[in-house]
Homo-oligomer: A and B are copies of this chain.
Amino acid sequence: MKRRTTPAQTAILDLLKSSGSALSQDMIEQKMKGETDRVTIYRVLNRFCEDGLTHRIVSDDGKSYFALCHGCQGNHHTHDHFHFRCLTCQKVECLSEKVQVSLPQGYRATNVNAWVSGYCAGCI
């Protein structure tokens, strides 16, 4: 299944790049003014994740956010950083700080989903 270049995909990728933050499907739909079907947006975002272009973080607002991978080398992906969601401007950012947690004896971690919500510098 070789990927094809389509307007929807390049538009969504451009949005992710230019926004500099993580976006949810509904944010993208708004910014595209409904020109692209919401199912297509979901499928494009899932494909980006499969291809290692983005990572998905599930927020406590009930939505998935998609952020461009940054610092992932080839097949080796690590997304064990915190994310911040501003309750006023809704912006979602990847924080640089890595999640550090020691599990009970015998536990094995395979994934991390860590959020802080509050108010960003511009919205205090």
Q: Which residues of A contact B (CB under 8 A)?
A: 57-60, 62, 82, 84, 87, 95, 97, 99-121, 124
> In the complex, which residues of chain B have a beta carbon less than 8 angstroms from the beta carbon of A57?
60
> In the complex, which residues of chain B have a beta carbon less than 8 angstroms from the beta carbon of A105?
121
Q: A58-B62, A60-B58, A114-B115 are in contact. Are A104 and B109 (CB under 8 A)?
A: no
- Taken together as a complex, chains A and B put the C-alpha atoms of A19 and B58 apart, in Å, by 26
Q: Contact check: which of B107, B113, B120 meets A107 at CB < 8 Å?
A: B120
- Taken together as a complex, chains A and B put the C-alpha atoms of A120 and B113 apart, in Å, by 17
> In the complex, which residues of chain B have a beta carbon less than 8 angstroms from the beta carbon of A112?
115-117
List of 4 A-B pairs having minimum Cβ-Cβ separation, nearest first: A106-B121, A58-B60, A109-B118, A110-B118
Count chain B CB atoms within 10 A of each CB in A87, A100, A107, A124 and give the residue with the most. A107
> In the complex, which residues of chain B have a beta carbon less than 8 angstroms from the beta carbon of A95?
101, 103-104
**Closest residue on chain B to residue A111 by CB atoms:** B117
Q: A113-B115, A114-B114, A117-B111 are in contact. Are A82 and B101 (CB under 8 A)?
A: yes
Q: A58-B60, A62-B58 are in contact. Are A110 and B119 (CB under 8 A)?
A: yes
